[in-house]
A and B are shown apart, each in its own frame.
Chain A
Amino acid sequence: MSALLIDDISVEFGRFRAIDRLSLAIDYGEIRGVIGPNGAGKTTVLDVVSGITRPKAGRVVLDGGLEITRASETLIARSGVRRKFQKPSVFDALTAAENVAVGVEGRLRRTAPAAEVRRRALDLLDAVGLADEADRQAGEFSHGQKQWLEIAMVLGGDPKVLLLDEPVAGLSDEETEKTAALVRSLKRPDRAIVVVEHDMGFVETIADRVTVLHEGRTLFEGSMAGARADARVIEVYLGR
């Protein structure tokens, strides 16, 4: 039973086919790396899963039964999917703790006492290494801090499916390493993690399996070592 099943989806932007009959199955307890050159459709896949883009055909199924293909972002999020966007998306006008609290609550209606929410938010900030910055405004954060803050925010929802879109883009080597450790620590038997990245080295450190996308289709699926050895993958990455 897959945590996340992407079944034969196609996405078109005008006449451009961004995703072409793509299928992917990701299991609980797995960290899946999705790599591919620019324009391969990596971010678009995440857009489909999180409900931002509607596919022309195909379906997305959660947890072996719940179909979310045409559901709203809100509904998809409430079924346990969380996504960190490529461009760090935090709420600049709120403090770090408030940002994470927004992630923890996840509903307009108050679900837990404010003190409890804040305690949980501080725990998460601690986990991503931002405990000291809890009451600073997010707008003042550096790029890296925003990346981690957003990860803390999405973790607040305790996701079953976690989608990370380029979590180390624009980070220094040191920050990348720190992020890799963080992502590895998020692995749980009841959670599937999808990481979209350019950085092959980063993916190799964290991913159990990788999927290589090219022009909206799956080019390769298997271990990172396998991908590195695959002739077609080499051609796509190096041959152009």
Chain B
Amino acid sequence: MIRSLLGSSGGTGFSLTLAALAVTAALLVATLAGVGPSGFLVNIIGQLAAFALLALALDLIWGYLGILSLGHGLFFAIGGYVMAMHLLMHSFETTGTVPDFMQFMGWKEFPAYWAGLGVFPYALAVALVLAGVVALVTGWVSFRSRVGGVYFAIITQALVYAAMLLMFRNDTGFGGNNGMTGFSVIFGLRMGTETASAVLALASVVVLALGLVATRALVSGRLGRLMLATRDDEVRLRSLGYDTIVLKTGVWVVSALLAAIAGMLYVPQVGIVNPRILSPELSLEIAVWVAIGGRGHLVGAVIGAVLVNALKFWLSFAAPDVWPFILSALIVLVVLVFPNGLLDLSRGFGALKARMRREGVASLDPRRAGP
């Protein structure tokens, strides 16, 4: 089953995943008609889809370009915060009740730069432009000076950490420690109703499917080959006349946009955004989902995100203290025994053992284990 899901170039895994997403979407439509899964499950499905999209964004640059970002939470948060602003503004405009957030901030009215955020297309554009510009600047500056590998990973983590510190301050103007919450209306629907949850979850699943199709189109084409070439030997590629800085920055921006969209889908489903979305731990966890699912496999990233988070949701209820131990054990297992995540599992243990004997654990699969 996993094998066929992940089956690499044949595309069966891809088709199966799309089919699974289609079934999920159909179930959510059934919920809208009043016969599908219950509200809680719907909400979980929606959150998982948002996380899967986030994992997809990271896999694009890590799996295909070999650039690990430990700060993707930054773009996720940009989407999330802009969405929260949209929801507050939209709720205010439709119901007329002043949100707690404004009282908490001591505002009589929304500041000028909030103007228009109540209109969703504008909010979407703001989130994308903001995430895009931040990605463009950070990417261009880093890639231009050949910052890569571990350096890039830690610098992106420092970025997200600095952003978290900034947002924790009340005078930054986005709710500080408390963040933003108390959204009452989305697209004219009352938040918290079964319908709103199902619509949000459906939107997340559909966007995830679209994201999967789009990123697959990107990586399986000519640019995808150039991305792999950049990952394998960037200097070689540059010395053939390619401007890898443009390529890397471009893909970095695309990845940031996907992460921002994931954030916009995620925040209304949890009903709150606060600086903890910017914690280095979340950004590291994204990398863990991708590593567990299998780097360089878009479907793997989706499955990794869904499995790890489903486990996390379940354990958070069943045994909250155990989760960090399970997570660290999972990471060590993936790093030591299954460097390609579930992909290795799909290849069967027999082949794995033979490889371990032959090559030693460290270089299970030099082609994919790469950087």
Complex Cα gap A93–B227 (Å): 10
Closest to A76 in B: B239
* B271 CB to nearest A CB, Å: 42
Cβ of B367 under 8 Å from chain A: yes
B155 at the interface (CB under 8 A from A): no
Q: How far is the CA of A224 from the CA of B65 in the complex (A)?
A: 45
Q: B233-252: contact bitstring with A at CB < 8 Å (1 yes, 0 no)?
A: 10111111111101100000
What size tier do the contact residues of chain A reach?
A: 20 to 34
**Complex CA–CA separation, A157 to B225 (angstroms):** 18
User: How far is the CB of B137 from the nearest CB of chain A, in Å?
Assistant: 20
Q: List the one stretch of A19-27, A78-86, A215-223 in contact with chain B.
A: A78-86
A108 close to B229 (CB less than 8 A): no
Q: Tell whether A15 is near chain B: CB-to-CB under 8 Å.
A: no
Knowing A93-B367, A98-B225, A114-B222 touch, does A106 contact B241 (C-beta < 8 A)?
yes
A91 touches B240 (CB 8 A): no
Contacts of B229 in A (CB 8 A): 91, 93-94, 102
Q: Are B236 and A89 in contact (CB under 8 A)?
A: yes
Say if the beta carbon of A77 comes within 8 Å of chain B. yes
Binding site for A on B (CB under 8 A): 222-223, 225-226, 228-229, 231-233, 235-244, 246-247, 366-367
Candidates B226, B243, B246, B367; contact of A102 at CB < 8 Å = B226
Residues A72 and B238 in contact in the complex (CB < 8 Å), given A93-B228, A108-B226? yes
Name 5 A/B residue pairs within 8 A (Cβ), A-sorted.
Answer: A74-B241, A74-B244, A93-B231, A102-B242, A106-B241
Question: How far is it, in angstroms, between the C-alpha of A72 and the C-alpha of B243 when the chains are bound?
Answer: 9
Kindly state whether residue A69 has any CB partner on chain B within 8 Å: no
Instruction: Known A74-B241, A77-B241, A108-B242; judge A102-B225 contact (CB<8 A).
Output: yes
Q: Knowing A73-B235, A91-B236 touch, does A107 contact B228 (C-beta < 8 A)?
A: no
Q: How far is the CB of A126 from chain B (nearest CB, A)?
A: 20
Q: Which residue of B lies closest to A103 (CB)?
A: B240
Is the CB of A12 closer than 8 A to any CB of chain B?
no
CA distance A160 to B365 in the complex (A): 38
**A77 to B234 Cα, complex, angstroms:** 14
- Contact between A92 and B367 (Cβ–Cβ < 8 Å)? yes
The one of A94, A107, A137, A156 in contact with B225, judged by C-beta atoms closer than 8 angstroms, is: A94
Besides the known contacts A89-B233, A90-B233, A108-B247, 13 further A-B residue pairs in the complex with CB atoms under 8 A apart: A72-B238, A74-B238, A77-B240, A83-B239, A93-B232, A94-B225, A94-B229, A98-B225, A102-B229, A102-B242, A110-B222, A154-B240, A157-B240
Q: Would B239 and A77 count as touching, CB distance under 8 A? A: yes
Assess the A106–B242 pair: CB atoms within 8 A. yes
Check if A50 sits within 8 Å of B239, measured CB to CB. Answer: yes
Compute how far the CA of A98 lies from the CA of B227 in the bound complex, rounded to whole angstroms.
Answer: 12
| CB <8 Å contact, B241 and A78 | yes
A149 to chain B, nearest CB (A): 11
Q: In the assembly, what is the distance between CA of A101 and CA of B241, in Å?
A: 13
Q: Smallest distance from the beta carbon of A48 to chain B beta carbons, Å? A: 13
Query: Is A226 located at the chain interface by the 8 A CB criterion?
Result: no
Residue from the list B222, B225, B239 in contact with A82, Cβ < 8 A: B239
The minimal Cβ–Cβ distance linking A47 to chain B, given in whole angstroms, is 10
How far does the alpha carbon of A72 sit from the alpha carbon of B229 in the complex, in Å?
18
